[in-house]
Structure 1
Amino acid sequence: MTFPCLTTERLLLRPWRADDLPAFAAMNADPEVMRHFPGCMSREESDLLAGRILVHVDTYGFGQWVIERREDGAFIGVLGLQWIPFEASFTPAVEIGWRLHAAYWRQGYALEAARAALGFAFETLALDEVLAFTVPANLPSQGLMQRLGMRRDVHGDFEHPNLPEGHALRPHVLYRLRREDWA
């Protein structure tokens, strides 16, 4: 399967290009964008993350799209689907995740892009379920999960295994969306 472009009323979700790396790095270096992550990323760390995203796409035929505004080609951020890369009580599973430049928050772009990605997940990939998770303090992301119809799985909340014991961002809340609830 080739990694497709998805279009919405205002957005193009497209595969990555080499010229996306500077905008991706700028977003990953922004303390406001990264406040619910362990820290800001250097350009090298950001490029390595982009490389891991591309390997996932090459391996599975899906992954994180670049979100581009159709009217002017602006790089808004990234959003997409990936196999969860760690072991937990709910894996193996596919998650939806997003990261947008702060200038594009609260304009409905993440919701619009996520709806397109979930349509792809359930209609094209025929997944039975998609998960999402974040830290408890990330109320905007939890609000988006709820607007997408995802339901909190309190019993699935977990300690993120990639963060050390006692780290403030280790606790995570888990949301689920089943295909029949999407339809």
Structure 2
Amino acid sequence: MTGQQAFPPGFSATVHLNWKVNGEDKWIMLGCLKNEKPSAIYRLKGLTQQSGGAAMPNTAAIGISIESNADVDAQMANKNRTGSSAAADMDGMQTETSDSAGGGGALVKFGQIDEATQTQLALAMAPKIASNIFSYLSSFAPDSAPQTVPLLKRWLEQFERKLRAQGIGFLARAEAE
């Protein structure tokens, strides 16, 4: 998600904003990120005040949903077809929340993605996590690379083997023990 590492093949992300509308949290789809378009600027004009009165304090949250390219393309086509914008969504038009009927355009909660897709995502993320761990650990002991690299490589190989054999569920089982 830093722009330096591509999405796994066949995957993209939708970007959502959580904002209170009339006292109710709403997830508004802002757009998407793809390997072909790894960054974007989203216009949020008109979100600070709902009426002519003083602005109410509000907290925004950004949601990133990694999904198949087909799902992202369908959501973007729907967004473009309806002409939906963040400002229009804030007025309550064409806004979908995570519990909307049909779920189109809604953020997907963990567990609603099939296990095969979860496993593929985990396999794609594992080397990135190992690289990040290596960078972090080597910042404490720069000359430790000769010992650290083989250990992390072995961990990564075992982790990937378990993912392929047992699926993503082995992480939950290991946590429960």
TM-score after normalising by structure 1: 0.30
Which of these two proteins has the greater Rg computed from alpha carbons?
A: 2
Task: Identify, as 1 or 2, the structure richer in strand.
Answer: 1
Task: Identify, as 1 or 2, the structure richer in helix.
Answer: 2
TM-score after normalising by structure 2: 0.30
Give the structure, 1 or 2, with the largest relative contact order (CA under 8 Å, sep 6 or more): 2
